[in-house]
Chain A
Amino acid sequence: MSGTACVCQEIECREIEIDYNQLDKIIRDDYGGNKETMIMMMQAIQRVYRFLPEAALKYLSQVIDVPLTKIYEVATFYASFSLEPKGKHILTICTGTACHLRGSGGMVRHIAERMGIEPGKTTQDLKLTLETVNCVGACAVAPVAVMDEKYYPKATIATLNDFMDRLDAE
């Protein structure tokens, strides 16, 4: 079973293939279809698509019998969920207290300006998503940047510029 869902963004139309067998595996096998684990199911779905496609949530709603509006409520409440497609690369800059005191705010502004996106948003070409996080627990080596799940301690604007240069070259 497989279908196509269209997630229309203002700019262009992005077609997302939803693999319902895979969804079934997550919802029924991994989490036993238990409503209480809905947040973790949604995280698993987001790991697959790098965001939460509407069609996948509709399916989730049917299988676990939770109204779609309640799923939407949860998806918009928790910061780690995204209803918009995320970029191929994800740059997360820690803005926890220790990192903030060591200038992580300036790094966020720098990348935001350079890439022309607000924190939390993705570039038009879906290459990069810029995110902020409140402490990743590595405060001793603040400021911390996390690029595609790898930690960069004592990050500087120069470290980040290196990434961006590499992305631009891709």
Chain B
Amino acid sequence: MRVLNIILNGKAVTAREGQTILELAQENGVFIPTLCHSPALEPAAMCRLCTVQVIEGGRAKFVTACNFPLRRDAEIRTDSPEVRHGRKLIIELLMARCPSSPELQRLAVEYEADLTRFSSLNDDCVVCGLCTRACEAVTGKTLSLAGRGTAIHVSTAFAKISDFCIGCGACVQICPVQKISMEDVDGERHILLHGKIVSQVKLPRCKSCGKYFGPVIDLEKVMDRMGEHLIPPPNADTCPECSRHNLAVKLGKRYFEQYGVFREEGQADAG
């Protein structure tokens, strides 16, 4: 692999060809704010908060760090006055939509955003597209970005309760402004988008302990696409705790049969 010589905020560093600016910055301890980025998902570069300046072959341009692949020697400025000013505007514009987000509030202080310039929209969604991309990665059947322009919004088909949601909760976990929530009521999982129920999923009952537990998902597909960033979900009819227990007991038994010793559960896989 080719090694590139990069000047990152005035400091000479090296980068691997194809690496994104965000990855390079993280490796070198340079913080670039992001809002729509998750290492588990394809970058969508929608929020534009991570915009930096790149000078490649003598030409300066603005690019988004989360998805710009380095291909040549370049100079990168992640915190120039122009960059900071643009980020300040993004924060002001998004705060007008979603003033309650702690993450945005923190950024607003850091970038000295003037929160009086734009009238409030109180929409409460920053349109980062993380939930729809997370949904896409799991089943791709429930959430999408409907509408266009100012009318763009996260929605289920026909804004109705989805027939296809499996209740995995990936969208709930990933929303940076905590506007998707989840509650388990009487053996049913509800997912709420801005307080409105968009999914009702019957939860399976654990055949070992009798408790309701999270839904079954196509594990292989999820692990494949989300890798180690997702807590492993359980399988068919046993809750995660019981499955782990059962597995441990099984492995332990085998160990005992082989070596005649029965180890503690937690060490079951040590052999």
**Contact call B155/A72, Cβ cutoff below 8 A:** yes
Count: A-B pairs, CB below 8 Å: 42
**Contact call B148/A69, Cβ cutoff below 8 A:** no
1/0 per residue A1-20: CB within 8 Å of B? 00000000000000000000
**Contact call A67/B146, Cβ cutoff below 8 A:** no
Q: Which of B140, B144, B151, B162 has the most CB of A within 10 A?
A: B144
The answer to whether the Cβ of B143 comes within 8 Å of any Cβ in the partner chain is yes
**Contact call B141/A73, Cβ cutoff below 8 A:** no
The smallest C-beta distance from B150 to any residue of chain A, in angstroms, reads 13
A residues 114-128 near B (Cβ < 8 Å) are: none
**Contact call B144/A73, Cβ cutoff below 8 A:** yes
1/0 per residue B117-144: CB within 8 Å of A? 0000000000000000000000111111
| Contact residue among A54, A71, A77, A83 (Cβ-Cβ distance under 8 Å from B148) | A77
Residues on the B chain within 8 Å of A150, using CB: none
**Contact call A72/B145, Cβ cutoff below 8 A:** no
Which applies to chain A's interface (DSSP): helix, strand, loop or mixed? helix
**Contact call B141/A69, Cβ cutoff below 8 A:** yes
The answer to whether the Cβ of A47 comes within 8 Å of any Cβ in the partner chain is no
Return the chain B residue nearest A54 by Cβ. B158
The smallest C-beta distance from A161 to any residue of chain B, in angstroms, reads 32
The answer to whether the Cβ of B83 comes within 8 Å of any Cβ in the partner chain is no
Return the chain B residue nearest A79 by Cβ. B148
Return the chain B residue nearest A72 by Cβ. B157
Residues of B within 8 A of A (CB): 139-148, 151, 155-158, 162-164
Besides A69-B156, A72-B158, 17 more A-B contacts (Cβ < 8 Å) are A67-B141, A67-B142, A67-B164, A68-B141, A68-B158, A68-B163, A69-B142, A69-B155, A69-B162, A69-B164, A70-B144, A72-B144, A72-B146, A73-B144, A73-B145, A76-B148, A77-B147
- Those 10 A-B pairs whose CB atoms lie nearest each other, nearest first: A73-B144, A68-B157, A72-B157, A67-B141, A76-B146, A69-B157, A69-B144, A76-B147, A77-B148, A73-B146
